[in-house]
């Protein structure tokens, strides 16, 4: 007889019923070949005594396995492992405690891709100078709650709670079309818009559609790692060109195009990530000319267009694209709150149709209720009012934070006041190792990124993004005070 008492370990305090635990462990012994096909099991009374259980518990476990086909009862002979099961060669018997080890590792091999190892950004408690997040405390939560409630009161329940259009809620696409046409001079209809779960989903879908293994994608030497990961995931060759005080060096891109075919160029021209600089009009026009000349697609990521402070925002590349070579990606996550996983892709209708087909195989549709609610916020003006309020708030915080850095840390941090966005690109004096400084700051209750993710291969920028929008002016003063304390020497 197998050592059932050693092989079966039951937890009577667990939420799962004991008879189900017993059935599951007998099933596992059969699967591992320790109970072979045709093996007779102990009688219910005998097993109950071995395991110190009530006999009815064992009977219930046997009945469960009989119903599932793992066991078979033979009249007058007892209960046996079913004869129709395949033969499994048994492994060496392990003690129950040892058999629980290694649950974190699979029994099969798979390839771990280094480009997916990207640090996870979380909004921690305490002081923070984050990557450039909005302040969720000023988000229109009450208005959103009212819009959610209206979803349950309005329209056909079958339509509301059934499957919807993979392109996104029609109301939201209609309102986004009006909003983008008015604020960005785009020429869209709802059929030119795909609603996605944040801009990164739009980038993933676009790169999946456009890039094949071995084709060339080009990004700036400093760039958002989330975009880079998606391009590498397609198997494309990812090349970089220089970035200066005016964004992507388009003449360096032109030189690259003269030597090899380029399929896609990814840019964040309004506020280059991570340096926040704005690409001037002459470079924008040259980039569009190069796209037409060499036939590459421009993937324009306009992640925080709403927040530009020094003058009117420069219109997107997509607004001046006569040849439909630009795919435009944006997001409401930076405008309202990161938990609002709503982004959008703007492209010619045939491209949107194909992106929607791709979207269906990973995500049948978006969050219909959230999309409807945000569409309502657009329609009744609540979201536009919020964006206006947020713009004024973040502009004031930008001014205050830059003044603090200039006054309190003049010999520690070098920066150019950003024309817009939600963060300052800060270069620290090299006597202060950012990695060590970030660690010391965390122990003082202040969180900010160590900047390692922004370093191009072989370079040490000792720079990082210091987000100001998610902190009040008082919190910004406290954060700078921590930095001043740690760098005073």
Residues 6+ apart with CB under 8 A from 109: none
CA 451 to chain centre: 19
The two three-digit tokens of residue 344, written as one number: 């959008």
Residues 6+ apart with CB under 8 A from 439: 450
Contact 78, 40 (CB under 8 A): yes
SS3 content of the chain, % helix, strand, coil (to 5): 45, 15, 40
The two three-digit tokens of residue 426, written as one number: 């800060």
- pLDDT at res. 93: 53
Bridge partner residues of 466 (DSSP)? 424
User: d(Cα 261, Cα 85) in Å, to the nearest integer?
Assistant: 57
3-class DSSP assignment, residue 30:
helix
* Nearest to 362, CA basis, from 170, 159, 208, 234: 208
The residue behind tokens 């979803």 is 151
The two three-digit tokens of residue 231, written as one number: 């391009």
- pLDDT at res. 49: 92
Per-residue pLDDT of the chain (489 residues; tens, 9 = 90+): 678 888 899 999 989 999 999 999 999 999 888 888 899 999 999 999 999 999 999 999 999 999 999 999 998 889 999 988 887 776 665 554 455 555 677 878 888 888 887 777 666 678 999 999 999 899 888 888 888 787 777 666 666 666 778 999 999 999 999 999 999 999 999 999 999 998 999 999 999 999 999 999 999 999 999 999 999 999 999 999 999 999 999 999 999 999 999 999 999 999 999 999 999 999 999 999 999 999 999 999 998 888 988 777 789 999 999 899 999 999 988 787 777 789 999 999 999 999 999 999 988 887 888 888 899 999 999 999 999 999 999 999 999 999 999 999 999 999 999 999 999 999 999 999 999 999 999 999 999 999 998 999 889 999 999 999 999 999 999 999 999 999 986
- pLDDT at res. 96: 46
- pLDDT at res. 178: 95
What distance, in Å, lies between the first and last C-alpha atoms of the chain? 73
Neighbours of 132 (CB within 10 A): 26
Contact 167, 346 (CB under 8 A): no
CA 128-129-131 angle, to 5 degrees, is: 120
* Sheet arrangement for strand 297-302: 193-196, 343-346, 326-331, 297-302, 264-267, 216-220, 237-241
Count of residues for the chain? 489
Task: Phi first, then psi: give them for residue 164, nearest 5 degrees.
Answer: -115, -170
DSSP string, 183-217: HH-----GGGEEEESSHHHHHHHHHHHH--TT-EE
User: d(Cα 296, Cα 217) in Å, to the nearest integer?
Assistant: 9
User: d(Cα 203, Cα 432) in Å, to the nearest integer?
Assistant: 35
Burial class of residue 125, CB neighbours in 10 A (0-12, 13-18, 19+): exposed
Bridge partner residues of 264 (DSSP)? 217, 297
- pLDDT at res. 87: 73
3-class DSSP assignment, residue 120:
coil
Dihedral (CA of 32, 33, 35, 39) sign: positive
Contact 197, 363 (CB under 8 A): yes
Neighbours of 306 (CB within 10 A): 21
* Nearest to 236, CA basis, from 205, 212, 270: 212
**Strands 127-129 vs 326-331: parallel, antiparallel or unpaired:** unpaired
Domains of the chain with CATH codes: 4-89 (1.10.10.10), 127-132+385-487 (3.90.1150.10), 140-383 (3.40.640.10)
- pLDDT at res. 298: 98
The residue behind tokens 């929008």 is 469
User: d(Cα 16, Cα 37) in Å, to the nearest integer?
Assistant: 27
User: d(Cα 26, Cα 64) in Å, to the nearest integer?
Assistant: 11
Rama region for 261: left / alpha / beta (φ>0; ψ in -120 to 50; rest): beta
DSSP E strands: which ranges in 82-138?
127-129
When computed from its CA atoms, the radius of gyration of the chain, rounded to whole angstroms, is: 30
- pLDDT at res. 57: 94
The two three-digit tokens of residue 7, written as one number: 């092989």
3-class DSSP assignment, residue 445:
coil
* Nearest to 363, CA basis, from 204, 177, 236: 204
User: d(Cα 121, Cα 405) in Å, to the nearest integer?
Assistant: 24
User: d(Cα 18, Cα 93) in Å, to the nearest integer?
Assistant: 23
Burial class of residue 207, CB neighbours in 10 A (0-12, 13-18, 19+): buried
Bridge partner residues of 267 (DSSP)? 300
């Amino acid at each position: 007889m197998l050592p059932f008492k050693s092989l079966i370990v039951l937890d009577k305090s667990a939420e799962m019923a004991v008879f189900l635990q017993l059935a599951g462990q007998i099933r596992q012994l059969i699967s591992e070949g320790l109970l072979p096909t045709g093996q007779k099991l102990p009688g219910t009374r005998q097993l109950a005594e071995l395991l110190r259980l009530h006999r009815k518990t064992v009977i219930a476990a046997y009945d469960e396995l009989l119903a599932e086909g793992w066991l078979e009862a033979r009249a007058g002979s007892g209960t046996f492992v079913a004869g129709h099961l395949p033969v499994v060669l048994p492994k060496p018997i392990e003690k129950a405690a040892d058999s629980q080890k290694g649950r974190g590792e699979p029994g099969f091999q798979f390839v771990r891709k280094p480009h997916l190892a990207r640090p996870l950004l979380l909004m921690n408690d305490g002081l923070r100078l984050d990557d450039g997040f909005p302040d969720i405390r000023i988000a229109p939560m009450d208005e959103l709650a009212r819009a959610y409630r209206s979803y349950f009161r309005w329209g056909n329940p079958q339509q509301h709670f059934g499957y919807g259009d993979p392109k996104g809620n029609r109301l939201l696409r209609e309102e986004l079309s009006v909003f983008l046409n008015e604020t960005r001079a785009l020429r869209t209809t709802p059929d030119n818009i795909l609603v996605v779960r944040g801009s990164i989903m739009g980038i993933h879908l676009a790169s999946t559609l456009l890039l094949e293994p071995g084709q060339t994608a080009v990004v700036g030497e400093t760039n958002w790692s989330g975009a880079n990961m998606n391009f590498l995931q397609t198997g494309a060759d990812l090349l970089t060109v220089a970035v200066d005080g005016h964004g992507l060096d388009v003449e360096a891109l032109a030189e690259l195009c003269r030597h090899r075919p380029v399929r896609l160029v990814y840019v964040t021209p309004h506020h280059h990530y991570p340096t926040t600089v704005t690409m001037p009009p002459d470079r924008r026009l040259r980039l569009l000319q190069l796209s037409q000349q060499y036939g590459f697609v421009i993937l324009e990521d306009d992640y925080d267009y709403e927040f530009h402070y020094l003058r009117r925002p420069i219109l997107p590349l997509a607004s001046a694209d006569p040849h439909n070579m630009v795919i435009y990606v944006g997001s409401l996550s930076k405008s309202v709150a990161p938990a609002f996983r709503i982004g959008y892709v703007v492209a010619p209708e045939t491209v949107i149709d194909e992106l929607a087909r791709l979207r269906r195989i990973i995500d049948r549709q978006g969050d219909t209720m959230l999309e409807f609610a945000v569409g309502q916020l657009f329609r009744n003006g609540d979201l536009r009012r919020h964006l206006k309020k947020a713009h004024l708030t973040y502009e004031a915080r930008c001014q205050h934070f830059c003044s603090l850095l200039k006054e309190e840390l003049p010999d520690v941090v070098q920066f150019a006041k950003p024309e817009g966005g939600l963060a300052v690109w800060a270069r620290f004096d090299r006597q202060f190792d950012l990695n060590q400084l970030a660690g010391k700051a965390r122990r003082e209750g202040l969180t900010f990124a160590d900047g390692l993710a922004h370093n191009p291969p072989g370079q040490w920028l000792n720079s990082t993004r210091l987000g100001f929008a998610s902190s009040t002016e008082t919190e910004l003063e406290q954060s700078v005070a921590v930095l001043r304390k740690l760098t005073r020497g």
